[in-house]
Amino acid sequence: MSRRASRLWILPVSVVAALLLGLLPLPVSVQGLRPYWLALVVAFWIIEEPERAGLGFAFFAGLVADLAFGTLLGEQALRLVIMAFILQRFRSQLRFFPLAQQALAIGGLLLNDRVVSAAIHLLLGLPQPPWTYWLAPLLGLLLWPPMFFVLDALRSGRRPR
């Protein structure tokens, strides 16, 4: 079995881990600060393994997240597909950005995700989330480099530093 084939388990396990991190109970005061773990994991796989992760992968992961989190069916799927489309469009540039610039781009995509989510809630007349909800993209931006290093090390078979 090839080295690459022996690591096929990493993608589904990382998605399940992101879903579990999203379901982890947090105190009400910090609920809005929860990073969108699934978006970070989907972004990593779209950037690094485009032949395995694309729009369909993002849509399916979003539908699973909608079911797991009990949100409006299709909301997270739409948000992740929008993010995946932008990532696919600019993948060739993003891949060669230094990690700090990549983190800024991911932060911008996470902020865009919050705007899309707020627009969906506004259109449907759902209550808007608290103001701390808008700080979560900043936390996602800060978490991108360590998460990238861990997933990249697992994907390539190296030991995380």
Give tens-digit pLDDT for 45-64: 999 998 888 999 999 999 99
Query: 21 lies in a domain?
Result: yes
Tally of domains in the chain: 1
User: pLDDT tens, 119-133?
Assistant: 999 999 988 888 888
Q: What is the pLDDT of residues 84-134, one digit of tens each?
A: 999 999 998 998 899 999 999 999 999 999 999 999 999 999 888 888 889
Per-residue pLDDT at 112 = 96
The Cβ of residue 115 has, within 10 Å, a number of other Cβ atoms equal to 13
The pTM of the whole model exceeds 0.85: yes
Structural domain harbouring 38: 5-156
- pLDDT at position 1, please? 47
CB 144 within 8 A of CB 78: no
Give the pLDDT confidence score for residue 6 in this predicted structure.
58
161, part of any domain: no
Residue 4 confidence class, pLDDT cut points 50, 70, 90: low
Compute the distance between CA of residue 119 and CA of residue 7 in angstroms, rounded to an integer: 38
3-state secondary structure the chain: CCCCHHHCCHHHHHHHHHHHHHHCCCCHHHHHHCCCHHHHHHHHHHHHCCCCCCHHHHHHHHHHHHHHHCCCCCHHHHHHHHHHHHHHHHHHHHCCCCHHHHHHHHHHHHHHHHHHHHHHHHHHCCCCCCHHHHHHHHHHHHHHHHHHHHHHHHHHCCCCC
pLDDT band, residue 159 (cuts 50/70/90): low
